[in-house]
Structures are given as structure tokens and as C-alpha cells.
Homo-oligomer: A and B are copies of this chain.
């Protein structure tokens, strides 16, 4: 019975890996029951022995992608300075990840979730993802008296929505029209919300 569990998880993993590869490569549009099963080396019908439906399988990828994104972000922000700089670098790396893997963006923010059992928990995982990535650096800012807790919370929310809105327009409506412009506007927005990296005076007041 324990063996069964292990084997089942292993095979589920084959399907999930196949789906992840397709998502990162060609995007959601090529992820079908048949394409995933093909890549996993099984028949399409077999998939239904391990997942309720295709949506179920697809959303099992969220956690993996978050972990992957988190790793990428952490590696990229190493060189940048503490505090505000770190927050900005985090957002930049976050945005970079989702523009590189637009299939993952679709999955996280665009794909309608059917009646997955724990859909609410997955939603929340997605909703709070950027906040979680930035959290330690907001904490640092608070500790350094750059913001007070309340102000940090406000800015956190502003950042969350702003980044989301920008990503959506860029990915789905090609606005701004190229990546450089996009990043430029993003940095302007961050400047606006977070402020310059090395303030001359305490901003908490």
C-alpha cells in the first residue's frame, strides 16, 4: 500500500513533468490530454487514472513553477543592495520569469480554474506570490525605519496590482510595444511606489 502510493506519485510525476515542459516551451495552447500523455509515454486515457481531469493536472504544476521561479529570483537578486533595491530587483526578476515563460503566466493568471478541490488555496498561493518573494526585504526596510509597517503594507499592495496590470497588458495586449519600453515603464512605476533607493531622509513620517 505504501509501495502503491510511491508508484502512483511517480507516474503522476511523469505527467506533470510532461505538462510543465509543454507549458514552458510552447505554452498553454499546446497542452492537451493527448500531447501531455504522448510526452509522458502513456496513452491519453491513462491520464484519467491519475487525475480528475486535465485542469486538475495543469494546476498541479503551479507549486513547482513557484518553487522554480523563487529559485531564479533569489539567484538574480543576490548582487543587488538591501532594502528598496532588493525589492526592485525582486520585481524585475519576477517579471523577467513570467515574460520568458509566458505559458506559466497564462497558467498562473489567465487560465480559468474549473472546480479543483483546493482552488481557493491555489488562488491564494498565486495572489500572494509576489508579496511572499518580497516579504523579507519589506521587513528589512521596516527594521531600518525606511517605512513603518502600515506604509509598507500599502506599498506592497500597490506593487502587487501594478505589476499584475502591467504584465497583463504586455502579454495580452502588446502594450507597451516592446520589452525595453515595458521595463522602463515598470521601473518608473516602482520608483513612484517605492521611491528612490537611497533616500536622504526618513520617509516614515
Contact = CB atoms under 8 A, between A and B. Distances in A.
A168 interface: yes
Interface string A160-193: 1111111011001111000000000100110011
- Copy count, this protein chain: 2
Nearest to A108: B173
A120 interface: yes
A126 interface: yes
A120 B172 CA distance: 11
A157 interface: yes
A158 B168 contact: no
A63 interface: no
Interface in A135-172: 154, 157-158, 160-166, 168-169, 172
A112 interface: yes
A127 B169 contact: yes
